[in-house]
Amino acid sequence: MSETENEKAIIIPFIPTSDFYFQRGIKAFQKNDMTKAKEYLLRASTLSKTEEERVFALCQLAICHQQTGEFSESMEILEELIQSDGDIFPEAYYFQANNYAFLDELEKSLELVIQYLELEPDGDFTEEAESLKQVIEIEIKDY
């Protein structure tokens, strides 16, 4: 680049936001690049301006850990969210119920899925939660 071009170059400031990293995390998740997805979602959670943004980014991060079989990492994030912000994002109960189901801790899973259904009877995951509840009840009955 010549000196004249340097003088005319426009510098566009870039200040990444929580939403920027969240969107990148979701795209990485959709491409099944969980390493990048986790990295971006963690960054999104640290840049969040509101508690709801932080909770949502962390919940998505927990789902990434769940997808890669890192259940203890997922459970740790979700347990913290449930303790501090369960009223903001009741879906954390449903995601945690899935973790316990994967680990074959059916009673705890059932307790959490019921709690989600009580908090969000018309929530985004109601159908999935009802299905999980039925499967768990059958499994427990068969033991």
- The pLDDT tens digits of the residues spanning 84-124 come to 876 778 899 999 999 999 999 999 999 999 999 999 999 99
CA distance 7 to 2: 9
* pTM summary value: 0.83
Indicate the range of 5-9, 23-27, 91-95, 97-101 predicted with least confidence: 5-9
Q: How far apart are CA 97 and CA 129, in angstroms?
A: 9
Q: Please state the length of the chain.
A: 143
- Confidence band for 15, pLDDT divided at 50, 70 and 90: confident
Give buried/exposed letters for 80-91 (b at 16+ CB in 10 A, else e): ebbeebbebbbb
- Residue carrying structure tokens 């459970």: 75
- 58-91: pLDDT as tens digits: 999 999 999 999 999 999 999 999 998 767 788 9
